[in-house]
């Protein structure tokens, strides 16, 4: 407590007070003193003199400043001295202003506590006037507000930091009302949406749903998600930028509610994901479209088909799946090269697309195979009309590399839900109908039928049994003798495979070799034939004491096997057959892929010492220009030219030409399918070297062929 008289004492000394009032006053003064000294802060009164002489300082002084009240009252220390220098001026000004205006003052500033630390204080006070109305003293209260001040500073710093993030974020940040008005947003949002400034954006967009979203339903979806989950994550949508440009955005947002749970606004972020979306779309497009023609590819086919089935169910309509195969593609591709083939595919893709409606789909499966999906059909006649249109459009003349072509196509059709209800079966049925259309002379369309299904089933069954036939040792070889035309002697034989399933009739290779070729089983079957033919040839040679060349068919797929040469070599080594006694018959169609590697393989086979023949010559596509480079010993004329000889005299010229061609290239020429004496005589007449055919002998069982050989040995 300080030794100076208190304010009340000063006041009391200036007026007359009766004794009972005096006692009450003294009691009140005590109470007041106790109150002032117990306040959480410092009460003071100082004179309005040059030194601001303290006349009263409350006990709270110690806690506030670290100094005893007495130190202030005795002027050992003054408030100004402990005030941080830069704060002195504003404090003095606040008090000065209050004095001149006769008002209260309130000021906050920093002092240095006796412990050396800085404290924030809040000082409030007012001037006291003497009887003349002159300022006599200042009375005030000081409180430690350090804690509050530090919190305010921290809050201000945080606010500044968040504002900086808000202002400088690359992502758009916004608050909107649920009915689509912006409350607040950052510059990035304006930038993303293409506006020069926030004002520009606010003035331009008053209804987010209608003005921003390309699909206004998206906003509804957004609000529904908000209602259900209270938030949306990675919500992707297309929006219009200021100039009308469309971009992709991704939004993350949540609801902001008041204490009572009432929705106040939505708050969220916006990211421009156009680049990523475009890239994703590009990748997806590439994965689902054919690079050459731009048509949907096989991957998209199943999806679309499933989608269209859904539509057909909904509208009780039909869906047609049409398999289209170009008839002459291979011919053009092989003869004119891949570039011309590609051009042809592009032209045909465009024609097919022009024959169908917007809602239909044209798919390129690969190679020269396309699939059309025709939707919303009610009558089969509609499909026939469309297919007729496709046939004539494809068959229209086209020019590639300055050459004119006419191409046709074969089409097979299956119908949903009539033929099948699932995508795989529909495609399978359309495919088999397409094969039927090819067999029916091409350039036509065929609908899938039950009979076709029956055949398909038989084929699947055959394929299944064919897989087991090797294991079950159901194959055997027949031999068809070859005759030297001039001498009439047997000059060789062709080994022809037969399939004899136990307890069933024999199956012709014409029915199973194409399946074996398609499924790849031909590789194992062909290897078996090679080994068996070599083994039996050694046996025959030994029995009849003469070396007879045995011809073995090598299918196109076998020919393309990378280890064909080593397989032939090991068949020869295993059997011990003289390589000169083995002849390989290779069909012209083996050549279609790559003439260079075709010739290389022929050369390697030739180097083994085996004979080589081109089978079915005249029906394939081999270019005459390459023929001279083939290291082959024989040309085997396809039987169509021989069997039709009587009926079609035009074959005469072809046969003569082939014989002349073969001889000019130092090859022997053999004719197959010779059935009549006339044909034999004719072939002899034009200088054909050898013949093979029913006229002399059908393919024979090994034992029968052996007997024929021994008889002929006896004759000679």
Interface residues with ligand C2E (CB under 6 A) are 480, 496-497, 508-510, 513, 526, 529, 553, 555, 615-616, 672-675, 692-694, 699
Q: Which is nearer to ligand C2E, 383 or 671 (CB)?
A: 671
Q: Which is nearer to ligand C2E, 201 or 522 (CB)?
A: 522
CB of 654 to ligand C2E, least distance (A): 17
CB of 339 to ligand C2E, least distance (A): 32
| Distance (Å, whole) CA 578 – CA 611 | 11
Q: Which is nearer to ligand C2E, 452 or 637 (CB)?
A: 637
Q: Contact, 697 vs 480, CB < 8 A?
A: yes
Q: Which is nearer to ligand C2E, 612 or 674 (CB)?
A: 674
Sign of CA dihedral 588, 591, 595, 599: negative
Q: Which is nearer to ligand C2E, 91 or 495 (CB)?
A: 495
Residues 6+ apart with CB under 8 A from 240: 211, 212, 213, 214, 246
Q: Closest by alpha carbon to 209, among 168, 164, 251, 239?
A: 239
| Distance (Å, whole) CA 678 – CA 671 | 13
**Residue nearest ligand C2E (C-beta atom):** 693
Q: Compute the C-alpha angle 324/330/334, nearest 5°.
A: 160
CB of 480 to ligand C2E, least distance (A): 6
CB of 555 to ligand C2E, least distance (A): 4
In the chain, what is the straight-line distance between the N-terminal and C-terminal CA atoms, in Å? 156
Q: Which is nearer to ligand C2E, 343 or 585 (CB)?
A: 585
CB of 692 to ligand C2E, least distance (A): 6
Residue position matching structure tokens 């079966």: 425
Residue position matching structure tokens 């091409």: 442
Q: Closest by alpha carbon to 550, among 569, 531, 565?
A: 531
CB of 643 to ligand C2E, least distance (A): 6
Q: Which is nearer to ligand C2E, 579 or 699 (CB)?
A: 699
CB of 527 to ligand C2E, least distance (A): 10
Q: Which is nearer to ligand C2E, 492 or 526 (CB)?
A: 526
Measured CA distances, 615 to 144, 183, 257, 540, 672 (Å): 112, 84, 86, 24, 9
CB of 423 to ligand C2E, least distance (A): 34
Structure tokens at 343: 């051009």
Asked if the peptide bond before residue 417 counts as cis, ω within 30 degrees of 0, the response is yes
CB of 525 to ligand C2E, least distance (A): 7
Q: Which is nearer to ligand C2E, 224 or 574 (CB)?
A: 574
Q: Which is nearer to ligand C2E, 498 or 663 (CB)?
A: 498
| Distance (Å, whole) CA 178 – CA 382 | 51
Phi/psi at 649 (nearest 5 deg)? -60, -20
Q: Which is nearer to ligand C2E, 205 or 540 (CB)?
A: 540
CB of 455 to ligand C2E, least distance (A): 19
Rounded to 10 deg, the angle between the 522-544 and 564-575 helix axes is 30
Structure tokens at 199: 């004002």
Across 534-648, where does the E strand assignment appear? 550-554, 582-587, 611-617, 634-637
Q: Contact, 617 vs 637, CB < 8 A?
A: yes
CA 82 to chain centre: 74
Residues 6+ apart with CB under 8 A from 680: 485, 674, 691, 695, 696
CB of 459 to ligand C2E, least distance (A): 17
Measured CA distances, 72 to 128, 137, 242, 387 (Å): 19, 15, 69, 112
């Amino acid at each position: 407590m300080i030794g100076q008289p208190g304010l009340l004492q000063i006041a009391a000394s200036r007026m007359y007070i009766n004794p009972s009032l005096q006692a009450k006053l003294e009691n009140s003064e005590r109470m007041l003193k106790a109150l002032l000294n117990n306040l959480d802060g410092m009460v003071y009164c100082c004179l309005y003199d040059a030194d601001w002489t303290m006349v009263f300082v409350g006990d709270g002084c110690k806690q506030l400043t670290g100094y005893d009240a007495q130190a202030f009252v005795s002027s050992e220390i003054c408030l100004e001295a402990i005030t941080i220098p830069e704060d002195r001026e504003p404090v003095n000004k606040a008090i000065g202003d209050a004095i001149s205006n006769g008002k209260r003052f309130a000021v906050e500033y920093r002092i240095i506590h006796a412990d050396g630390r800085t404290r924030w204080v809040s000082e409030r006070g007012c001037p006291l006037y003497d009887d003349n109305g002159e300022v006599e003293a200042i009375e005030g209260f000081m409180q430690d507000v350090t804690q509050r001040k530090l919190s305010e500073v921290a809050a201000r710093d945080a606010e500044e930091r968040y504002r900086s993030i808000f202002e400088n974020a690359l992502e758009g940040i916004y608050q909107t009302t649920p009915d689509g008005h912006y409350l607040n947003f950052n510059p990035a949002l304006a930038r993303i949406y293409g506006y020069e400034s926030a004002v520009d954006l606010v003035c331009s967009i008053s209804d987010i749903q209608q003005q921003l979203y390309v699909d206004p339903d998206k906003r509804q979806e957004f609000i529904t998600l908000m209602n259900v989950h209270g938030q949306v994550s990675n919500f992707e949508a297309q929006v219009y930028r200021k100039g009308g440009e469309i971009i992709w955005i991704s939004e993350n947002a949540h609801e902001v509610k008041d204490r009572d749970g009432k929705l106040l606004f939505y708050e969220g972020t916006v990211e421009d994901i156009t680049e990523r979306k475009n890239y994703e779309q590009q990748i997806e497009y590439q994965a689902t479209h054919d690079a050459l023609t731009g048509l949907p590819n096989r991957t998209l086919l199943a999806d679309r088909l499933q989608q269209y089935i859904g539509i057909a169910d909904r509208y009780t309509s039909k869906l047609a799946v049409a398999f289209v195969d170009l008839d002459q593609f291979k011919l053009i591709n092989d003869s004119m090269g891949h570039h011309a083939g590609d051009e042809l595919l592009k032209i045909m893709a465009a024609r097919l697309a022009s024959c169908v409606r917007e809602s239909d789909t044209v798919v390129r499966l690969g190679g020269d195979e396309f699939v059309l999906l025709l939707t919303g059909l009610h009558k089969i006649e509609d499909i026939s009309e469309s297919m007729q249109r496709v046939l004539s459009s494809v068959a229209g003349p086209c020019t590639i590399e300055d050459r004119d072509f006419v191409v046709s196509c074969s089409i097979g059709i299956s119908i949903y839900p009539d033929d099948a209800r699932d995508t795989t079966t529909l495609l399978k049925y359309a495919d088999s109908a397409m094969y039927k259309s090819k067999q029916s002379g091409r350039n036509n369309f065929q609908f899938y039928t039950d009979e076709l299904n029956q055949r398909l089933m038989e084929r699947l069954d055959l394929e299944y049994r064919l897989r087991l036939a090797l294991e079950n040792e159901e194959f055997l070889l027949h031999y068809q003798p070859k005759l030297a035309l001039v001498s009439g002697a047997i000059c060789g034989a062709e080994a022809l495979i037969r399939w004899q399933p136990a307890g069933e009739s024999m199956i012709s290779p014409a029915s199973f070799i194409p399946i074996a070729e398609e499924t790849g089983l031909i590789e194992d079957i062909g290897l078996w034939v090679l080994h068996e033919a070599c083994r039996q040839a050694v046996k025959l040679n030994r029995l009849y004491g003469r070396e007879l060349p045995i011809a073995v068919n090598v299918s196109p797929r076998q020919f393309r096997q990378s280890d064909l040469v080593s397989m032939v070599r090991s068949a020869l080594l295993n059997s011990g057959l003289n390589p000169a006694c083995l002849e390989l018959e290779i069909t012209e169609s083996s050549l279609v892929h790559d003439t260079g590697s075709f010739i290389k393989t022929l050369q390697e086979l030739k180097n083994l010492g085996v004979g080589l023949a081109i089978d079915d010559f005249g029906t394939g596509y081999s270019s005459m220009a390459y023929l001279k480079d083939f290291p082959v010993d024989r040309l085997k004329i396809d039987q169509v030219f021989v069997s039709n000889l009587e009926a079609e005299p035009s074959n005469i010229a072809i046969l003569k030409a082939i014989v002349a061609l073969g001889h000019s290239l130092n090859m022997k020429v053999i004719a197959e399918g010779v059935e009549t004496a006339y044909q034999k005589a004719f072939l002899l007449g034009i200088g054909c070297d050898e013949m093979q055919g029913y006229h002399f002998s059908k393919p024979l069982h090994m034992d029968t062929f052996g007997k024929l050989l021994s008889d002929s040995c006896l004759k000679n």
